[in-house]
Amino acid sequence: MLVIPAVDVKGGRCVRLYMGDKDRETVYGDPVEMAMKWQELGARRLHVVDLDGAFQGVPVNLAVVREICSALSIPVEVGGGVRSLKTIEVLLGAGVEWAILGTMLVEDRHMAREAARSFEGHLIAGIDARSGWVAVKGWEEGTSLNALELARWCEGEGFSAIIYTDISRDGTLAGPNLEETARIAREVSIPVIASGGVSSLEDVLEVAKLEPLGVMGVIVGKALYDGRVDLREAQRILDGKEG
């Protein structure tokens, strides 16, 4: 299982938000430097979110994304404002390995289906939920769509993986929602990546217990930046190379 560092970009800076609230941010500096740091510490994949893009509906920090992809040798997945086929094309052209679709999955199923067929192998479904119900547009709007139903639809359309984020825990260090993550993983055959709330190595190891269900990675943000999780140590333990 992979520990996947998160680099969230807002206003050209690397930040972390509390429960997705754009007015409650902590700034951690230059996103390209942070991305390179995580690669140097052993990351095998990087998770990047254009927060401005998520709120505005179109990519805003594309130059930063392109610079990150150019600086790294590991694959990069990017979400935030990915709401058109052209945006996906631009991101993949910038060196992104996987574009993450979120709002499009809810608001334009036809386009999402077309995207899955046009960019096979390069799309991830980003399912962000509160209490099992999907939220969109930078988590500012709730929906009446059940997260599990959306996961099943994405599986059927050929998405490469699902990132399941519990919004109520993201940035809180309250621990991941293991129950909901396991529920999603049991019901779909494509890989699931857990996200939201990881606060410690113990949390990472708890997520790792879900690997037999199909959970292939866990995204870690604030806990890495605050030093609560040592990336190199965590990945070594997951690889069975403890000591």
Catalytic residues: 8, 128
Amino acid at 166: D
Extract the tokens encoding 124.
């991830």
DSSP string, 172-212: TTS---HHHHHHHHHH-SS-EEEES---SHHHHHHHHTTGG
Residue 96, judged by CB atoms within 10 A of its CB (0-12, 13-18, 19+), counts as buried
CA–CA distances in Å: residue 154 to residues 48, 70, 124, 187: 21, 30, 9, 12
Q: For 103, which DSSP code?
A: H
CA 7 to each of CA 12, 15, 30, 91, 192: distance values in angstroms, whole numbers, following the listed order: 11, 7, 10, 16, 19
